[in-house]
């Protein structure tokens, strides 16, 4: 069995699947073909793996022809590019055709099957710096220091996605390197090493035009108090807010610009209505209040009164509609449909007395 060398200098502990592959190809493709594609993708993210057609076939209990059939299928879809040597006709290379952000992997000069990991990485932020811009930034000493500090806080080597997102904070959101270091420190202190969480905080700071660590500390102290007050209103205690919950609270506080008092009232109404904490339900309430230009709790009295009147009108209309649509309910008693006779009982009594004389 000929062992083919698979080389990749990218040290990754995860395999990233593009949304395009899941949405467009995975659903309609043969299950065995999908497994082989994912397996190749997984192998390409690891280093110093030996691979061959026979090993792939043995792994999935297939024939080599089955494996080649799968490879040709993905080549027709445009996701893979296969290369063969002329004599003997033998597969020598497999390339993923969707571009991946740097670092790019140099092609090894050998007859081995070359599987290059160039799959697109889905990043949490928009307007991520380009590959050229990232290369420029990485040459700066302050950026090198920032990435080093980030790795120390996260306790691992940064993935491409994490590195690009952190650079996005600096290059697009225009946060200083010192402020980004504090941001990472703050998020880790809240028991969250999620880049998504950091991105949410970074967007909030950028929107609030926070440029110094002192401003960030004042902001986080205020918002921490508000966050935990909202969680408490929902009956949630003993944990930090989840990323999805943070996004809702950021919207209520920053986009809707509601006071904490109004937000807590919406939370209370949510629990009374649903009997459980529900951020989406509370968001519907607050979005309606925003649409009706609610500014204070007193504004709710008018809005609630209008709501009650609307409910009464709707209930009345529904009752009338039901009455019209239900002829049985409107029908008169059949007994009363007969013509009712009237009698003069005094005259009848006199007539009977005259007859008896």
What pLDDT shows up at residue 105? 35
- Only one residue has tokens 């390339």, namely 95
What pLDDT shows up at residue 261? 92
- Residue 98 pLDDT exceeds 60: no
For residues 218 and 133, give the distance between their C-alpha atoms in angstroms, rounded to a whole number. Answer: 33
| Rounded average pLDDT over 232-253 | 86
What pLDDT shows up at residue 179? 95
48, 10 Cβ separation under 8 angstroms: no
Lowest model confidence (mean pLDDT) among 109-123, 168-182, 238-252, 334-348: 109-123
The CB density around residue 251, as the number of other CB atoms within 10 Å, is 16
Residue of 131, 197, 145, 200 whose CA lies nearest to 176 = 145
- Residue 117 pLDDT exceeds 50: no
| Rounded average pLDDT over 16-30 | 79
What pLDDT shows up at residue 12? 54
Tell me the range of 193-197, 246-250, 267-271, 309-313 where mean pLDDT is highest: 267-271
- Residue 328 pLDDT exceeds 60: no
3-state helix, strand, coil in the chain (%, to 5): 60, 5, 35
Task: List pLDDT tens digits, range 125-177.
Answer: 456 788 888 889 989 999 999 999 999 998 888 888 889 999 999 999 999 99
Per the structure block, which two tokens stand in for 311? 């409910």
Task: List pLDDT tens digits, range 209-233.
Answer: 999 999 998 877 777 788 889 999 9
198, 182 Cβ separation under 8 angstroms: no
- Residue 60 pLDDT exceeds 70: yes
What pLDDT shows up at residue 339? 55
pTM attached to this predicted model: 0.39
93 phi, psi to nearest 5 deg: -155, 145
Lowest model confidence (mean pLDDT) among 182-186, 240-244, 278-282: 240-244
Tell me the range of 42-51, 118-127, 144-153, 306-315 where mean pLDDT is highest: 144-153
Tell me the range of 34-38, 225-229, 282-286 where mean pLDDT is highest: 282-286
- Only one residue has tokens 């009464």, namely 312
Domain ranges of the chain: 4-116, 131-298
| Rounded average pLDDT over 19-39 | 83
What pLDDT shows up at residue 119? 36
116, 95 Cβ separation under 8 angstroms: yes
Which parts of 45-89 fold into alpha helices (H)? 53-60, 64-77
What pLDDT shows up at residue 66? 86
What pLDDT shows up at residue 306? 84
What rounded mean pLDDT belongs to the chain?
A: 78
Share of the chain above pLDDT 90, in %: 25
Of the CA atoms within 13 Å of residue 162, those in its CB half-sphere come to: 20
What pLDDT shows up at residue 331? 52
- Residue 96 pLDDT exceeds 90: no
For domain 4-116, give the fold.
Answer: Arc Repressor Mutant, subunit A (1.10.10)
Lowest model confidence (mean pLDDT) among 28-32, 66-70, 311-315, 317-321: 317-321
- Residue 190 pLDDT exceeds 60: yes
């Amino acid at each position: 069995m000929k062992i083919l060398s698979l080389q990749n200098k990218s040290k990754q502990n995860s395999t990233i699947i593009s949304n395009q592959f899941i949405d467009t190809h995975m659903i309609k493709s043969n299950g065995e073909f999908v497994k082989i594609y994912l397996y190749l993708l997984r192998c390409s993210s690891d280093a110093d793996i030996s691979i061959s057609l026979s090993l792939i076939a043995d792994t999935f209990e297939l024939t080599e022809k089955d494996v080649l059939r799968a490879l040709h299928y993905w080549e027709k879809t445009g996701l893979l590019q296969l290369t063969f040597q002329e004599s003997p006709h033998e597969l020598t290379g497999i390339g993923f055709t969707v571009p991946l952000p740097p670092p790019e992997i140099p092609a090894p000069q050998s007859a081995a099957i070359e599987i290059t990991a160039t799959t697109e990485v889905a990043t949490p932020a928009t307007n991520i710096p380009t590959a050229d811009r990232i290369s420029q930034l990485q040459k700066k000493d302050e950026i090198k220091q920032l990435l080093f500090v980030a790795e120390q806080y996260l306790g691992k080597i940064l993935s491409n996605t994490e590195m690009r997102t952190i650079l996005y904070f600096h290059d697009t959101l225009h946060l200083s390197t010192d402020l980004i270091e504090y941001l990472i420190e703050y998020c880790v202190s809240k028991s969250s090493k999620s880049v998504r969480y950091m991105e949410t905080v970074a967007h909030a700071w950028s929107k609030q035009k926070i440029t110094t660590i002192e401003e960030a500390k004042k902001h986080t102290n205020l918002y921490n108090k508000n966050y935990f007050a909202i969680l408490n209103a929902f009956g949630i205690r003993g944990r930090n807010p989840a990323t999805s919950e943070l996004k809702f609270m950021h919207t209520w506080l920053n986009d809707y610009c509601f006071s904490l008092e109004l937000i807590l009232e919406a939370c209370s109404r949510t629990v009374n209505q649903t009997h459980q904490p529900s951020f989406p339900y509370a968001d519907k309430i607050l979005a309606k209040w925003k649409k009706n230009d609610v500014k204070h709790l007193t504004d709710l009295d008018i809005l609630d009164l209008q709501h009650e009147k609307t409910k009464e009108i709707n209930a009345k209309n529904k009752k009338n509609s039901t009455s019209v649509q239900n002829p049985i309910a409107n029908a008169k008693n059949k007994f009363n449909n007969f013509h009712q006779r009237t009698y003069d009982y005094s005259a009848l009594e006199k007539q009977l007395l005259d007859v008896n004389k």
